[in-house]
């Protein structure tokens, strides 16, 4: 029979009092966290650990994927009707695209007259959303494209309806994007109706964003569309971000209480687009060797400029 003291945890083969071990662990942990927070020297360690843990991530996706697959397998009627809807939608979008090509050409001519440097050309990479954050206090998604595919920190993530977030971590095989609903994320926007510039902040809840810096006399109404202004250089300009859902003036408060709902389907979609300007890629801190997309033969990546 073993005594209680024989069960003391061992460190490197010697019995050490747990109190001493704990103090060492606390000091090491705090140092690690400060180093990790301050600069990126630990990202290689994190990256290799993440690659080692990749099979777990993939395995955790299997049940959900299987259910999706079985639903599709046994539901032929739904697939057919979805296919019909999609071909109708493609027709509709192609119709609009015809007009867009002319408009884009006109816009570029006018910009050339103004000697404006900004370009409409944007590169696009389709990424699959692997998982929505398992940590309910942080709002991010994991994507199946990593630095090997040309993803770099700072790329914006959009879906069919608007901006979703931006890439914050990249490993060789996958990347992580912070959603605009994360409490730590702010995005510069303008109100589409008036052009008023402001900032939208996340709240930590997926369906609510807030606009904390609108003065009491600001012209903002429920239903106003907020589009990204492109200020700050992180997010591309003129993509829809959110729609105002709530405007209240609290007497005594300096700012209006304004809430908005993201236009993008945060946490529901399975696919998203990574968007970046050709010029920001060279200044991106990540993957300097990322191949330019036009030379990439990746089947599911497409250059975005619509053919006239």
Binding site for other proteins (CB under 8 A): 1-2, 4, 6-11, 18-19, 21-22, 25-26, 28-30, 32-33, 36-37, 42, 45-46, 49-50, 53, 56-57, 59-61, 63-64, 131-138, 140, 168-169, 176, 183-184, 204, 206, 267
Q: Distance between CA atoms of 167 and 176, rounded to whole angstroms?
A: 6
Min dist CB 137 to other proteins, Å, is 4
Tokens at residue 37, please?
């927070």
CA 107 vs CA 43, 91, 130: distances in Å: 42, 24, 37
The single-letter DSSP state of residue 226 is E
Min dist CB 37 to other proteins, Å, is 6
Query: Whose Cβ is closer to other proteins: residue 33's or residue 80's?
Result: 33
Alpha helices in the chain (DSSP H): 18-38, 43-52, 54-73, 76-114, 278-283
Min dist CB 267 to other proteins, Å, is 7
Min dist CB 49 to other proteins, Å, is 4
Other CB atoms within 10 Å distance of the CB of residue 207:
13
Query: Whose Cβ is closer to other proteins: residue 135's or residue 254's?
Result: 135
Query: Whose Cβ is closer to other proteins: residue 236's or residue 267's?
Result: 267
Min dist CB 54 to other proteins, Å, is 10
Query: Whose Cβ is closer to other proteins: residue 132's or residue 225's?
Result: 132
Min dist CB 303 to other proteins, Å, is 30
Which residues, 6 or more positions from 276, have their beta carbon under 8 angstroms from its beta carbon?
A: 122, 123, 152, 154, 155, 156, 236, 284
Q: Distance between CA atoms of 274 and 151, rounded to whole angstroms?
A: 8
Q: Answer positive or negative: Cα dihedral of 220, 225, 229, 230.
A: positive
Query: Whose Cβ is closer to other proteins: residue 45's or residue 78's?
Result: 45
Min dist CB 285 to other proteins, Å, is 17
Query: Whose Cβ is closer to other proteins: residue 11's or residue 222's?
Result: 11
3-state secondary structure of 253: coil
Query: Whose Cβ is closer to other proteins: residue 122's or residue 133's?
Result: 133
The single-letter DSSP state of residue 215 is B
CA atoms within 13 A of residue 47's CA, in its CB half-sphere: 16
């Amino acid at each position: 029979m073993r005594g209680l003291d024989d069960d003391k945890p061992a460190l490197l083969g010697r019995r050490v009092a747990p109190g001493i071990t704990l103090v060492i662990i606390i000091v090491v942990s705090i140092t690690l966290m400060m180093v990790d927070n301050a600069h990126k020297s630990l990202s290689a360690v994190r990256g290799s650990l993440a690659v080692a843990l990749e099979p777990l991530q993939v395995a955790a996706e299997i049940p959900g994927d299987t259910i999706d697959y079985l639903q599709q397998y046994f539901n032929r009627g739904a697939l057919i009707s979805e296919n019909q809807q999609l071909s109708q939608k493609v027709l509709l979008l192609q119709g609009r695209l015809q007009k867009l090509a002319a408009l884009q050409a006109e816009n570029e001519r006018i910009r050339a007259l103004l000697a404006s440097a900004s370009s409409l050309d944007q590169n696009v990479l389709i990424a699959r959303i692997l998982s929505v954050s398992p940590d309910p206090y942080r709002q991010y998604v994991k994507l199946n494209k990593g630095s090997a595919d040309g993803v770099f920190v700072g790329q914006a993530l959009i879906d069919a309806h608007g901006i979703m977030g931006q890439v914050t971590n990249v490993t060789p095989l996958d990347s992580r994007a912070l959603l605009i609903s994360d409490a730590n994320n702010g995005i510069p926007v303008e109100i589409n109706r008036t052009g008023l510039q402001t900032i939208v902040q996340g709240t930590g809840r997926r369906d609510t964003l807030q606009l904390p810096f609108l003065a009491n006399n600001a012209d903002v109404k429920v239903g106003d569309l907020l589009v990204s202004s492109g200020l700050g250089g992180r997010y591309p300009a003129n993509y829809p971000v959110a729609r105002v859902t709530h405007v209240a003036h609290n007497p005594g408060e300096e700012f209006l209480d304004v809430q908005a709902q993201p236009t993008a389907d945060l946490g529901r979609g399975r696919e998203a687009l990574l968007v970046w300007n050709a010029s920001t890629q060279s200044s991106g801190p990540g993957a300097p060797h990322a191949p330019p997309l036009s030379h990439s033969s990746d089947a599911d990546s497409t250059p975005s400029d619509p053919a006239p």
